[in-house]
Chain A
């Protein structure tokens, strides 16, 4: 593994204890130049994770707390009339930042949600006819509460598709939680978590380019297409995977391979990222996990990576 990258993940692991796989997925998402949706209950470390990511990669960070009365202008920025210079000046909103944490995105009205998602897709914001480019890299981490919680507007399927990955942190095990408590009482170890950037933004952009050149052989593409096709051919999958999802899967697998210091994709890479990339697209707005397990896992179980 690239030393800087492994160091970064190491640091992240010190912030969020006991969740190495989720952290790796988050970094993968960043490398794949996609946006991340974290779905979890309050207090599980969603905000901490995004803070840490921004810090470790040396990116500017801003946080938007989504509420039901948040307006698009609060987020994007406004033109204000400057009486001295007799012209409008643009005051950029919190979205003009490299890492944006959209906290509790499903508490905002659909109007505001779609303003954010538009910015995510276009990498630019248009206000009063002027187009303002967003910084690169631009990485949105949105968090949402499970849909069954009160006062939420669930994201529609079309917008869920914009997020490359959806991960869920989940409760830590007792061991990790104990370590966390110890961290809180022990001021010495807290020093470690004082962050400084380990990776420069330029380096990150460079890596994002290299991810695109990770080799995906013919059998890999076939396997990927078989997975996608299965979701389309069977009635048990209500929302089949779109071509955008196919692209996202490949990019995710490439990033995962890059993270593991390989210049080619293995079936294991696809399997590792498949659930976090495909599950929210397959489920649509039914965000509650049923007892019957994950739809994406079912597709994986039904498809042999080595079949011709």
Chain B
């Protein structure tokens, strides 16, 4: 039968679905091309207009096909610059938007529903924070409500919402159980790594760069310490070691890269001897699409899974085997007091005495360094002299130093005498190299906000740069000129250091933090996000094993089987709890049950199906088909049934008699050959 109903375009179901689709597309803002997003929004506006009734006709499939063809051509053009994954995402949204324009039959509605669910899945590859999970959860519920509304349009929206929420809540424990026990298999298909805009530290650091990073309050990673937490001034989170200086910028040394590649080919990992006390911690790093990881030097992986993913370089840098395209967790152990002289000294010396090829850059610095070198024979004295120079000349710490484009080090040291951590690090490392002391710049993060005892959050604005100098037997020693100029930066963090400069002047979050209530809220959110990434996103095969071990003691195949069976039993029990009350309500009374049996027997004998007929009508219909005795018996049975079911005040013992008669009738009729 053809369905007669309100046209789809006037149903709230279609409107709701259009809105959800639009919000979904907007939530994918970054990966989407601008014009694709525009088409999605246009489609939604079309739906709203149709719903209100300003303009009714649905565009013809020919129009949409033409538009689709044009869009595909455009997309192919753009695909060269955005990569496969993003092209596919854009294609899906595009297809969804065009379908939305064409939406006119239930089939279209179901297509759009499935597409939207898939888009939500895609959303998780781009956003994994707790708040986005909640957001996508809400969108899923809205989608389900829209679908429910389509099927029962006469019910109210709150009724649907309540129903969907109830079912969602019922499904939740089952989902959690399955999440815990379903084996975490490695993915069959790997996401192509997205090309995305890069923020944060880069391979190349020029002195001005880090200052711009401090304008961002983006989370970089969280570290959870097991045991003691380092003091604020010890929290030097190393990310990249920069060993090549061209007079203006520091980059990773090409020689170092070459060496690293060779080591990798030989599978020779840097494996220093470790001694002294250590801190053990887990880091959950946000995606950067870079290889480097964060750790306090010298950091080594603390468990097998982390060891698998981490490559240790001879410059104390730790690298991930694959770029960080999603949140990743790893566990480290750091030895702050270990011997730092275990690297290949000759290579380190050669790389770290490199000087810019053009000697015309920064002539004053060269002269100044030569003077110091003449006055002080020892390495330690020379380093001290440089630091003393910073203090004596009244250098200041500022996020907004004047531009120094031509002779960056000269201008900094002798003209402006103010700058940011990377200015100091750059100038000092260069000066030391000029004095024949191997020195290099280290970029990373310093500090971290305590989220709860033992947990530190490190944000983009904690970006920092310091230097390392080679001091003979002691090996690499860390020096932080910023600590000399602005000790509060190291002790209390950047906010304290530059308070008067209106830190994060255009950063909303920082301004909001000044209200105590909002600050609390922000901390609460950070906590939730932390727990979410730690326990849900971080629940990998390793943690699953740990959980099993915790539950079962020693993990054996037999025990696991029992556990899995038990959990499936539990799920079955839950389902039974949900459905049995419903079934009980529908349970058939014995009278009815036996009447149905009798009817089935009659159907077997005569081939007459009851097909929603009432008892009287059926009795009349089959009368002529049944053998005479059975016919009379069945008529009497029907009569009794009517008596019991429809007449006022049926008696209890009559019910029993009826059941007895039914039994007798069925026995008798089954003995007779079919007519």
Contact = CB atoms under 8 A, between A and B. Distances in A.
Interface string B1-22: 1111110000000000000000
Interface in B535-575: none
Interface stretch (A82-90, A97-105, A297-305): A297-305
A220 B2 CA distance: 30
B155 interface: yes
Contacts of A234: 151-152
B154 interface: yes
Interface string B468-505: 00000000000000000000000000000000000000
Contact of B645 (A219, A268, A304): A219
Contact of B592 (A215, A265, A301, A306): A306
Contacts of A198: none
A263 B2 CA distance: 40
A238 interface: yes
Given A217-B646, A308-B586, A308-B587, A268 B1 contact: no
Interface string A243-285: 0000000000000000000011111100100000000000000
Given A234-B152, A298-B1, A308 B646 contact: no
B647 A264 contact: yes
B521 interface: no
Interface in B614-646: 614-617, 642, 645-646
A217 B648 contact: yes
A295 B3 CA distance: 10
A235 B148 CA distance: 10
B612 A300 contact: yes
A267 B614 contact: yes
Contacts of B3: 235-236
B646 A266 contact: yes
Nearest to B106: A235
Contacts of A58: none
B595 interface: yes
A300 B615 CA distance: 15
B648 A264 contact: yes
Contact of A233 (B152, B588, B614): B152
Interface residues of B, number: 32
A235 B5 contact: yes
A40 to B, nearest CB: 22
A293 interface: yes
B153 A235 contact: yes
B632 to A, nearest CB: 20
B154 A292 contact: no
Most B CB contacts (10 A, CB to CB) among A233, A235, A265 go to: A235
B596 interface: yes
Contacts, number: 81
A220 B646 CA distance: 7
B642 A238 contact: no
A43 B206 CA distance: 98
Contacts of A290: 2, 4
A37 B153 CA distance: 28
Contacts of B648: 215, 217, 263-264
Nearest to B650: A217
A232 interface: yes
Nearest to B2: A292
Contact of A217 (B2, B106, B155, B647): B647
A67 B535 CA distance: 77
A124 B595 CA distance: 49
B589 interface: yes
Contact of B612 (A220, A236, A295, A304): A304
B279 interface: no
Contact of B595 (A240, A263, A303, A306): A306
B615 A236 contact: no
18 contacts: A215-B646, A215-B647, A217-B646, A219-B646, A220-B646, A232-B154, A233-B151, A233-B154, A235-B3, A235-B5, A238-B4, A263-B647, A264-B646, A266-B614, A292-B4, A295-B4, A305-B614, A308-B589
Interface of A: 215, 217, 219-220, 232-238, 240, 263-268, 271, 286, 290, 292-293, 295, 298, 300-301, 303-306, 308
Given A215-B646, A236-B5, 14 more contacts: A219-B645, A232-B155, A233-B152, A235-B151, A235-B153, A238-B4, A263-B648, A266-B616, A267-B614, A271-B614, A286-B4, A292-B4, A293-B1, A308-B592
